[in-house]
Structure 1
Amino acid sequence: MKKSRYYPFERNRYFYGKLLTVRDFESEQKYFSDKRRLLNRLLYGTGVVTGLQVVAIDDKSVSVEMGAAFDALGREIIVPSPVTLKLSMVEGFTNNEYAKNVYLCIAYDEKGKEPVHAVANSSVRSEEISEYNRVLESYRLFVREEAPDPSSFPYADLFEETNVLAADGPVRLLLTTPRYVNPGQLFEARLKIEKTLQTPPVSLQFELSAEHFEPADEEHAHIVFREPADSQETEYSIPVLLRAGSRSNVKSALGITGQLRIGDRQVSVEPSAANTVFVAEEPVQKRLLDDYYNRTIDQAMDAPSEPCIYLAKIGLLQMGPTYMIEKVERVPFGEYVTNSSVLQRIGELERRAVTVAQKFEESKAYAQAQKELTASESASAGQTASAAETKPALAYGGQPGREEVSSGVVEIEIKNVSRQGIISFSKQGKSFFSGEIEHGLGEGNVYVTAGLENSSVEPFGEMINDSEQVYYGSVDVFKDSAYAPNLDNVSVGALVYPKKGTLRIGVKVFGATEATRVRVRWWAMKKPLKAESAPAGGALSELTSARLEAAAGIDEQ
């Protein structure tokens, strides 16, 4: 890496009696600076780290705010305070043409500071000699009036390829394509038109030419673009959807043939500057990572001889003999360095937003199901048959990889009333059953859980909300307590008929009771068709599992 001379690393070796010279102290500083800059470049990248916004403060001046950046050699660029610049006074700005786009750039610079008298040099030279006592690591702001080569940016040729298909004065036509695609993959090529504000309206008509690719549909086979008459843009992006062929491990040249019209002038676009797209058999992400890690350190640290960062693209309008700043686009080529912790937080927020959206949709679906369940319960409240069945009140799923759940309520009549209106049972108890209930999940095995809901027989039970008590699991837990149900010593079972898609509920009652029927709530769940395709951590699966674990209750009247 002759250009930057960052390695091999050498450090001073100290020993007693060593004569230290300027070279030794400079090597001491260089050793640590070079290592830091190497890590800056390889681990973090190139671009704006924070701040450095460019703001137009009037028609001819801009302000560069405080901020920090890394250049292509890993050197830190710090702007400690806002800087106001009259554009025409900035280095690189020419006065011969005002209807154009200019680019405000920043680069690393060093300046001497604190001049002092050099005592040692005065012994060999008669005149007074001064040297700077400090070196200030600073920056330099300047203007470039030509758009940069797309391949000059770091990683520009690693993930995508961009070529200039046509250039005519201030107008450029560029084509960007991915470096790799997979067989049969639908991908996007992008045409970009760059122009100035005072350029006449542009239009483009073209066809794509490629051996192993075809347009996604007829709309993308022949593309016509016309700039709106009232537009104030300096850049237009035209997406083109393509589909890769079935062959793998082949390269294809992708170009366009057509006409670019600038006002009344016409510029031919030939496919000579075609992009190359490789159809890879392995996943694109793996191929890109392989290319990234297989680079040599020279390739990773490759940089222009005078690296800089493009802070803004400034659109100028010609106003008689002078100019006016019409538009400022910040960091036009996306040169940013993002903190890894920030990226992690953004990823967490995105995942959280997806989870919240899923849970919100689940809650709406569950609330709607609860309304249907309440309506179904109300409809069945007047039934006094031995098995007053309700239709499934809740149903989720129906898609591979997702649980299917249904729910309902059934009332089972208790017979064999004794002479004083109190039912008496032996120690073994007495069993009662419902009729067959269609659970609505179709044929096949289902998991069923059932429980008992409790309604108070007390005159003021409704007023104290006893009617809303639901008992889960074994009701014996609450026996002989203030929370005991009116009907205890009851067990519930379910019988499933997989080939019929139905089930039957049964209850067994021990001891005397005044109740004449038992109200049972049941839940049925059918596992996904393909468990491996179910979304990991899906909100629906979590919800239905929680509901099934807690689905048991009693209602006696």
Structure 2
Amino acid sequence: MKNARYFPFERNKYFYGKILSVDDFESEQRYNNNKRRAINKMLHGTGVVCGLNVINIGDGSISIENGLALDNGGREILLEAPILKKLSMFEGFDNDKNASDSSYVYLCIEYEEEEKELVHSIEGNLEGGNSNGKFNKYKESCRLYLDYYDPEEEISEADALYFQTLKLYENSGLIIKQVLPKFVKTGETFNLDIIIEKISLSADILLDYEIGLECLKYHNNEKVKISFDESKVKRSNRYVLSYKIAAKDVVDTDGSCTIKPENFSLKIGKNDCKLNDKKAQEVKIIKDNISEKVIQAYFSKSMDDYVNSIRDKKIYLAKISLIKAGNTYVIDHVENNPFNQRVFNSVLLQGLKKTEKEEIENLKSLCLKSLKDKSSISEKSQEICKELPLDIKSGVEKIEVISGKAGEVVFSKEITHGIGLGNVYITLGIDNESKNEILFGDFNVFEEKMVLPAAKAYKDKGTMIIGIKLLHEIKNQSFNIRWMVYRDAKERTKDVPEITMSIKPDMCDINVLETIYLEAISTGLSDNRCSWKVKEKFGGEIDSNGKYTAPSIPGIYEIVAKSIENPEIEASTFVIVREDEK
């Protein structure tokens, strides 16, 4: 990129009698341009400011609306007037690509300037020409071109603040990426996404590999098994596999996801592909607010980091899907701004903030309405409830039906009802908002043939699910199911689980000076935190997160974990420390 650096900021000093040269005028322009572009880059970012939408016109043509964008150097990219053009006429179109190589293409835009308005010059001839003249002006415009390749890095600057991408494999028209958040709160879950993209590959792929976890867990296991067989799914150019990973109860430490070559298997058709070296990603486990951590990380960068990040990063206006046969192509559909490269101005941000505020107010109103509905029970019923030693919880579950035929069943998510473990009783009703009614029991009595609700309680989990059976075909309709869960309070004592604590792994074998994470597993405690100690005086060290560092002396050492909530509850495990055979 030309003029990639903005500094130093130097402007002309004018005085009476000063002789001005071309350098003085260029310095004046450079000063103003660099200051404006620095503000654009560091304050607004990169992306589309307005317009520049791409529309499929048909007949292999697209229309691009006029608009404005900012590139990664802060330069304004202006498309003054709309463009209507055949896709094959754009720079970069490759008609020789076969159908499997060109299922989609990206339309990109970048800054461009050209010299114009030839005028007479006393200095001499125009370079390469016979005229005694020079170009008088620069016209700033844009260059539109096509690109068949996916970006190699995270394009969205906003996404890059929160997420990190690791490229596991790239070859033979196949890219496999792994996406993790940069920060996660202690004990909370997050998505581990595996993204599989096929660019020029027709053969089916079979992927199997194992991710080793440290300070993280997947269904209480310290590894995740990734399996994908393309022959068993609907074919696509892009697949996303999501796994729910949980952070352990550790603070201010790094959770890691590690993939070893021996645990990685990939088949492309009949060909076996390997992972050349170990791959790893780390996610920071924190107890603070994630947004605050992102802001802190953002402002910890130096100005040089921003300036040096200037490179020819492309702006992708659209992803255009093609159906191609020989030299003929049809535009299937157009996805505008596929990587969310947008610049949000203050007006738009204020509008979004107002919308969020209204949504919060609506949520508050719904909560107040729900409380009023609960208070509408008759005074007699309230008196009975007070006299009976009952535990009662209630709520409303909204079930959406997109499209369903008579006899089909739609289920809610699993609901924690709040009563606890053991036997419970459940009553269900359906809001009939059009008639300001709530229906209970057999709705056929009232000739309301809509849906039939039912509930299933899980005694060992303290949860339930609600299902509705459709009594006729329904499309795009939602049902508010009111539920009440209750039980005899005398049965509470049956729900008190036994208090136990154990350490995972229960025994381990490591070399001197190596480290390993230990996890205390407890039941029956509301606070799972514990304190750690090594029983032997010179048996190594262990921190508050359970990270044990072996001593330099081989031996068998006992590690003790003690509950913070109930210090009488403790568990221990043994670590065998061996001399490093290397």
TM over 0.5: yes
Please identify, of 29-38 and 67-76, the stretch whose mean Cα deviation from structure 2 is larger: 29-38
Separation of aligned partners in 1, 2:171 and 2:65: 34
Matches within 5 A, 1:301-316: 301-303=307-309, 305-316=311-322
Deviations 1:345-380 (Å, cap 9, x if unpaired)?
A: 22222231232243245336536745736xx7xx9x
Q: Which residue, 358, 362, 365 being the options, matches 1:359?
A: 365
Whether 1:171 and 2:174 are equivalent positions in the alignment is yes
1 or 2, which has the higher strand percentage? 2
Q: Determine whether 1:294 maps to 2:294.
A: no
Contact 1:197 1:234 in 2 (8 A): no
Q: Which residue of 1 aligns with 2:88?
A: 88
Report if aligned partners of 1:72, 1:301 keep a CA contact under 8 Å in 2.
no
- CA pair 290-3 structure 1, distance change in 2 beyond 3 A: farther
Correspondence 1:153-172 to 2 at 5 A: 154=157, 158-172=161-175
Supply the AA of the counterpart residue of 1:336: R
Distance 2:271 2:356 in 1: 48
Aligned residue in 2 for 1:54: 54
Q: Give the conservation status (yes or no) of the 8 Å contact 2:176–2:194.
A: yes
Which residue in the other structure is 1:334 paired with? 340
Contact 2:66 2:82 in 1 (8 A): yes
**Following TM superposition, by how much is the alpha carbon of 1:40 offset from its aligned partner in structure 2, in angstroms?**
0.8
2:331 to 313, 317, 325: 325
Structure 2: gaps of 5 or more residues: 394-582
Q: Which amino acid letter does the alignment assign opposite residue 77 of structure 1?
A: I
* Other-structure match for 1:75: 75
In 2, Cα distance between equivalents of 1:184 and 1:71 = 40
2:469 alignment partner in structure 1: none
Alpha carbons 1:108, 1:308 under 8 Å: kept: no
Which whole-Å CA distance do the structure 2 matches of 1:2 and 1:110 have between them? 11
Flag the 1:199–1:68 CA change in 2: closer, same or farther, 3 A. farther
Write the mapping of 1:233-272 to structure 2, written as runs, cut at 5 A: 233-256=236-259, 257-269=263-275, 272=278
Distance in 1 separating the partners of 2:41 and 2:87: 31
CA 1:366/1:183 → structure 2, altered by over 3 Å: closer, same or farther?
closer
Do the aligned partners of residues 345 and 124 (structure 1) sit closer, same or farther apart at CA in structure 2, a change above 3 Å counting? closer
Deviates more, 1:352-361 or 1:142-151: 352-361
Q: CA separation of 1:312/1:303 partners in 2, compared to 1, >3 Å: closer, same or farther? A: farther
Aligned residue number for residue 209 of structure 2: 206
Describe the superposition over 1:167-203 as per-residue Cα deviations: whole angstroms up to 9, x where unpaired.
2333211111122234333222211111249734445
Map of 2:457 onto structure 1: none
One-letter code aligned to 1:339: N
Q: Deviations over 1:54-86 (max 9, x none)?
A: 222235332222111110011111112211233
Which shows bigger deviation, 15-24 or 338-347?
Answer: 338-347
Q: Over aligned residue pairs, what C-alpha RMSD do you find?
A: 3.7
TM-score of the aligned structures, taking structure 2 as reference length: 0.58
Pair 1:188 & 2:191 matched:
yes
CA distance in 2 between partners of 1:128 and 1:273 (Å): 61
How much has 1:124 moved relative to structure 2? Answer: 13
Task: Name the counterpart of 2:65.
Answer: 65
Look up the match of 1:345.
351
* Cα separation, 2, equivalents of 1:283 and 1:272: 32
Query: Given that residues 258 and 270 in structure 1 are in contact (C-alpha distance below 8 angstroms), is that contact kept between their aligned partners in structure 2?
Result: no
Q: Structure 2 vs 1, CA of residues 125 and 308 (structure 1 numbering), >3 Å: closer, same or farther?
A: closer
**Corresponding residue of 1:276:** 282
Tell me how far 1:296 sits from its aligned partner.
1.6
Aligned partner of 1:551 in structure 2 is none
Are the counterparts in 1 of residues 155 and 341 from structure 2 also a CA contact under 8 Å?
no
Identity score, percent: 32
Query: Residue 112 of structure 1 is aligned with which of 111, 115, 118?
Result: 115
8 Å Cα contact 2:174-2:200 kept in structure 1 = no
Cα deviation code 1:278-313 (max 9, x no counterpart):
334654333322221121212113345433201122
Alpha-carbon distance, 1:22 to partner: 1.5
> Residue 410 of structure 1 corresponds to which residue in structure 2?
none
Q: For residue 247 of structure 1, report the CA deviation from its aligned partner.
A: 3.6
The offset of 1:18, in angstroms, is 0.5
What SS does the corresponding residue of 1:57 show, helix, strand or coil? strand
2:6 corresponds to: 6
> Does the 8 Å contact 1:46/1:337 carry over to 2?
yes
| Equivalent-residue separation in structure 1 for 2:344 and 2:314 (angstroms) | 18
Task: Look up the SS of the partner of 1:10 in the other structure.
Answer: coil
Structure-2 change in CA distance of 1:120 and 1:223 (3 Å): closer
> Is this contact kept in 2: 1:186–1:216, CA < 8 A?
no
1:219, 1:226 → 2: CA distance?
Answer: 23
* Aligned counterparts of 2:332 and 2:107: Cα–Cα separation in 1: 15
Aligned length, in residue pairs:
383
1:29 deviation in Å? 1.7
Q: Closer, same or farther in 2 for the Cα pair 1:271/1:190, shift >3 Å?
A: farther
Superposition deviation, residue 38 in structure 1: 0.7
Corresponding residue for residue 129 of structure 1: 132
Alignment CA distance shift 1:200-1:325 (3 Å): farther
**Alpha-carbon distance in structure 1 between the residues aligned to 2:78 and 2:128:** 38
Q: Kindly indicate whether the alpha-carbon contact (under 8 Å) linking 1:255 and 1:271 is maintained by their aligned counterparts in 2.
A: no
Measure how far apart 1:261 and its partner are.
Answer: 4.2
SS in 2 for 1:37: helix
Are the structure 2 counterparts of residues 64 and 159 from structure 1 closer, same or farther at C-alpha, using a change threshold of 3 Å?
same
Which residue pairs with 2:30 in the alignment? 30
Q: Which range moved further: 75-84 or 261-270?
A: 261-270
Alpha-carbon spacing, 1:87–1:390, altered in 2? closer, same or farther (3 Å): closer
Change (3 A) 1:112 1:24: same
- Report the residue type matching 2:64 in the other structure: V
Residues 19-43 of structure 1 show CA distances to partners (whole Å, capped at 9, x for unaligned) of 1111111221221121111111111
**Preserved CA contact (<8 Å) 1:258 1:268:** yes
The answer for unaligned runs of 5 or more in structure 1 is 380-388, 401-557
The structure-2 alpha-carbon separation of the partners of 1:330 and 1:204, relative to structure 1 and needing over 3 Å to count, comes to farther
